[in-house]
Amino acid sequence: MRNLINNLFRGLISFTYLVMGVLLITACVDESSVEVEKPNTAVLAVLEPELETFEDESLNISVNFVEPSSTEGTIQVSFSGDAVYGDDFTTDPAGDVNGISIPVASGLSALSLSVIPVNRLGSVEESKTLALSFSALDGVSFGPRNNSSITILNRPEISTSGTISDFGNVTELESSASQSFSVGGLGLTGDMELSASENYMISLDDSDFEGSLTIPAADINGGDTLVYVRFTPEFDAIGAVAGTVDIESENAEDVTLALSATGTEQPPTIFIDPSTLDFGSAPNGGVSASQSASATGYRLTEDIAVSVTGPFEISLDDNTYSASIVLPAEVINALEEVSFFTRFAPNSGVDGDKVGTITLSSAGAADQQIALSGEEGLSIVAFTSFEEPAGVDVDYTDLGDSTVSRVLENNDGQAPVQYESIGGELGFKTIYVPTGGLGSTDGDDLGVTTKTSIVGDSPEGGYTDGVQGYYADDTDGIIKVVFDPVDVSSLTTLRLAVDYLFNDTSWEDTDNIMISVETGDGLEQTLLNLTGVDIEAGALDPEPHVWQKMDVDISNLVGGTIRLTLQVETNSAAEEVYFDNIRFLGI
């Protein structure tokens, strides 16, 4: 019996475990077979969070779903900002001031919304802002971004008024009378750019014509500007010539004006440049520096004969000069520019203004002339421009005793302070006279130099003759530049010309600058004495650096020899004085 009860109990326990195992297995099977409903994540970002559009352009906004919607729903779009629905914008789908409700069908993966600005071109309005906020109704859910901001910008505008009629017949290489039109701007954010097509030119002043021009936005917004147009047919622009003026500005719609004209053939023609040449002063028996002119020809059948009248000469190579030359037609035709040279060669012996004419002639073409002028002066008896000896931009250091008066010696590699003439420019020597200072033993600007840091600021852009001059500064004693004697025994008229220039600095009354001459029999004449004179005032004011040109009559000193002396005494490195283009002129 006991065994039977034990067996029954064991069976009951086993059955219990079996039932529990079955239940557990069943529970696991049921749990894994349950379908869990997934949420519908519906909307991603709406393009970019900040967008812009112009008042005449619609803006499409795409709303993209993570995956197709599994249920129907609704997206609500709300408006905010200073843009008012109906006044400043509308939408598609349509809405109202409160926004838009957009249904979402099951299976939909994307939808779009258009913002349509109200077009106000031609008016001045401020830009408008519109904020769109997206919210979900009826089971549609959103991703991380659900809003967007839109700025509705004014479209910049270009306006024109007036008409340009046909320019008619115009001979090639010449210009028509101008016509004009007005151009304006509204809300332009960039400058207005105008360009004319080939054979046409434009201008804002009816004087200076170019192929293109720019009007700043600040000058054209809200107003009108007159633009002039003319027809200038180029070489071989013959027959009907259509053209345009194109007007552009950033973000504005381009405007194009149509132009028309007819180019007619140019007859055989000679063109010259310039029409006048002035050679300034040149001495009797001497020649001026040459100047160049150019000629061009069109449809010439013969060479151009060039002749000159008056005390002038012409040349093809700036070397061999004569009264006439020939410019070959095969070279000069078709507007191939040919240069030639002219110089003033006075020889009358009578001072005064002289004139002449260059005439260019070719068969079938109208003659062209260049007016020439110059002033005949005295002959150059002796001169120096300090082109001899060779100068350097290196300070001079006196290797002698600063307490002893003496002639300074040249040092290798430094600015020369003495020169023995070889038959061209005057020779000279530099004498140092002590006054208790160091002289140039500490190294100073002194002697023949190529330095241009000061003279380069002058209107001449350098030295008045050549590329060298004589300079001195901080002499700490007296410097005298004494030149070779000049024989003036046979002259009846004599003048001395000297160019000099001061640095712009603080000059004192104790600074001493003198120019004097002395005859062979000891007669001395001071021509310039600036001791105690305010160099920074009146005509001597060196700001800007200006070459002073002394030209004095010393005819009372003729009859023997004459010697020039330049004297400088300063005590500052900034107190620089330059000399150049020294000439004894006489007859």
Average pLDDT for 559-584: 94
Let me know how many helices (H) and strands (E) the chain has, helices first. 3, 41
Average pLDDT over residues 318-334: 85
Higher pLDDT among residues 533 and 14, named by residue: 533
What is the band of 27 on the pLDDT scale with cuts at 50, 70, 90?
Answer: very low
Spell out where 417-560 has E strands.
428-433, 446-449, 469-472, 478-483, 486-487, 494-502, 512-519, 524-529, 548-553
Specify whether the CB–CB gap between 535 and 502 falls below 8 A. Answer: yes
- Which of 163-172, 227-236, 345-354, 476-485 is predicted with the least confidence, judged by mean pLDDT? 345-354
Nearest partner of 545 among 569, 578, 568, judged by Cα: 578
The pLDDT tens digits of the residues spanning 361-420 come to 999 999 999 999 999 888 889 999 999 999 999 999 999 999 999 999 999 999 999 999
What pLDDT digit, counting tens, does each position of 523-560 carry?
A: 999 999 988 777 776 666 677 788 999 999 999 999 99
The region of weakest confidence among 30-44, 52-66, 135-149 is 30-44
Closest CA to 441 of 402, 479, 409: 402
pLDDT tier for residue 447 given thresholds of 50, 70 and 90: very high
- What is the separation, in whole angstroms, between the first and last Cα of the chain? 173
DSSP classification of residue 167: -
Per-residue confidence (pLDDT) for residue 141, from 0 to 100: 58
Distance CA 582, CA 387 (A): 11
Strands 486-487 and 524-529: unpaired
Q: What is the mean pLDDT of the chain?
A: 85
Which pLDDT belongs to residue 472?
96
Rg of the chain, C-alpha, whole Å = 47
Mean pLDDT comparison of 35-44, 175-184, 275-284, highest-scoring range: 175-184
Confidence of residue 261 (pLDDT cuts 50, 70, 90): very high
The pLDDT confidence band at residue 334, using thresholds 50, 70 and 90, is low
Q: What is the pLDDT of residues 450-492, one digit of tens each?
A: 999 999 989 889 999 999 999 999 999 999 999 999 999 998 8
Question: Which pTM value belongs to this model?
Answer: 0.45
Nearest CA among 432, 419, 528, 529 for reference residue 484: 419
Across the range 158-167, mean pLDDT stands at: 94
What is the layout of strands, in order, in the sheet containing 212-215?
Answer: 169-171, 255-264, 239-248, 192-196, 212-215
Residue 222 or 208, more confident: 208
pLDDT in tens, 64-101: 766 676 777 788 888 988 889 988 899 999 999 989 98
The pLDDT-based confidence of 329 (bands split at 50, 70, 90) is confident
**pLDDT at residue 128 in the model:** 87
Q: Report in angstroms the alpha-carbon separations of 576 from 76, 402, 511, 545, 573.
A: 85, 20, 11, 11, 7
